[in-house]
């Protein structure tokens, strides 16, 4: 049995017939080839699979593809500019060394973008609280916090 869904992914409207048990992360990675959405745990603990669903950060391994029917999904691949320029948050992660191996980075960036849009106060404690549920085993978070603060500032100025 399959279910027809229609959604917009990175600005492109598409329709698919999907198994009702298919996760959004599987749809993005396996069927659409958007492999920037990483799978780290499959239990919504690590945040590597974070995408925006109608503007809100969600862990795509905890969302069924059928639940995304009629929504707008934005992945890490969809945040770059038309000219290929990095999003200000991506540029800040690069500039402030907010990554090492890079596995958690796409989900971390997507979570940080929402945090920058919704939190009026981006002090260190706010950033750390806002990134709870995004695990990084490499950096120790200090440079991630610096990157989020700088990226948020660049987003406000841009």
Place of tokens 């809100």: 56
Max CA-CA distance within the chain? 49
Domain assignment present for 80: no
Chain centre to alpha carbon of residue 89: 11
10 and 69 belong to one structural domain: yes
Q: What's the pLDDT tens digit per position in 2-16?
A: 999 999 999 999 999
60 and 92 belong to one structural domain: no
Q: What's the pLDDT tens digit per position in 101-115?
A: 999 999 999 999 999
Residues in the chain: 158
Domain assignment present for 79: no
Q: What's the pLDDT tens digit per position in 57-80?
A: 999 999 999 999 999 999 999 999
Which residues make beta-bridge pairs with 45?
Answer: none
Q: What's the pLDDT tens digit per position in 129-152?
A: 999 999 998 888 999 999 999 999
Alpha carbons within 13 angstroms on the beta-carbon side of residue 136 total 22
């Amino acid at each position: 049995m399959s279910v027809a869904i229609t959604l917009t992914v990175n600005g492109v409207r598409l329709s698919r017939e999907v198994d009702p048990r298919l996760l959004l992360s599987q749809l993005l990675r396996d069927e659409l080839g958007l492999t920037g959405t990483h799978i780290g745990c499959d239990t919504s603990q690590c945040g590597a699979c974070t995408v925006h669903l109608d503007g809100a950060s969600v862990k795509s391994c905890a969302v069924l593809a059928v639940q995304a029917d009629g929504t707008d999904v934005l992945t890490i691949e969809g945040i770059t500019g038309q000219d290929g320029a990095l999003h200000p948050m991506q540029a800040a992660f690069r500039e402030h060394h907010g990554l090492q191996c890079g596995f958690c980075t796409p989900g971390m960036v997507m979570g940080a973008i929402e945090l920058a849009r919704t939190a009026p106060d981006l002090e260190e404690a706010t950033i750390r609280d806002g990134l709870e549920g995004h695990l990084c085993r490499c950096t120790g978070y200090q440079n991630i916090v610096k990157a989020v603060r700088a990226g948020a500032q660049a987003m406000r100025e841009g």
